[in-house]
Amino acid sequence: MAVREFLLMRHGQAEAYGITDEERELTSRGARQAERQGKALDAFFRDEPGPAPSYRVIPSSYLRARETAELVMQQADCVSRDALTIEGITPEDSLQDAIDSLSAVFAKFPDQHFLVVCHMPVVALLDGHCLAGAKRDGRAFATAEIRRYRFPDAETYQHLAAGCAEAPAHFLKADE
């Protein structure tokens, strides 16, 4: 069976305050980070052997994640233009909420690669779970950082099996 993978991205830098946490917008720096990361994704996959995979974006429902996803989609040819916004990956959600939400999408679209755009602490919790099977935070993510997670088969991928992924350290770190 083919290796399955997804990319996990923390949103770009956001305003410190908003009317609500859900409505916090990206700063101009956060927008630049997202645009650069979109370009960096294409550059990375141009240098890899074989055809570049195509990723569908899954942003959280929070504005800053949706804005980040939109900017990445505008810059990256390896990212499709049809985002699938889901609940369960916001800063208030638990690791289990994130696993349940993402597993449902991964199972529904088993042959698709995804770029998941969400928040701390969810990105760190997913990192710890996928790499080590930990129920604690994994490695912290910088704003707009992207990491790649590879699973050995469809079953472990669709269920986000604990400790079954491998990932290079800091796949695409934002440069500012």
**DSSP assignment of 11-52:** PPPB-S--SSGGGPPBPHHHHHHHHHHHHHHHHHHHHSSSPP
Tell me what pLDDT residue 136 has.
63
Mean pLDDT of 42-70: 91
Tell me what pLDDT residue 168 has.
65
Dihedral, CA atoms, 162, 167, 169, 172, nearest 10 degrees? Answer: -120
Tell me what pLDDT residue 1 has.
41
* Whole-number average pLDDT of the chain: 90
At the second CATH level, the architecture of 4-158 is 3-Layer(aba) Sandwich (3.40)
Where do the structural domains in the chain lie, given as residue ranges?
A: 4-158
* Residue located via tokens 């195509």: 54
For residue 155, name the pLDDT band (cuts at 50, 70, 90): confident
4, β-bridge pairs:
151
* Long-range contact set of residues 131-139: C-beta below 8 Å, sequence gap at least 24: 131/163, 131/165, 131/166, 131/167, 132/163, 133/162, 133/163, 135/95, 139/169
Q: Are 148 and 168 in contact (CB under 8 A)?
A: yes
Percent of the chain with pLDDT over 90: 65
The pLDDT of residue 66 is above 60: yes
DSSP 122-143: HHHHHHHHHHH--SS--S---T
The pLDDT of residue 72 is above 70: yes
For residue 83, name the pLDDT band (cuts at 50, 70, 90): very high
Mean pLDDT of 4-29: 95
Mean pLDDT of 111-132: 93
Q: For residue 75, how far is the Cα from the chain centroid?
A: 16
Number of Cβ within 10 Å of residue 107's Cβ equals 12
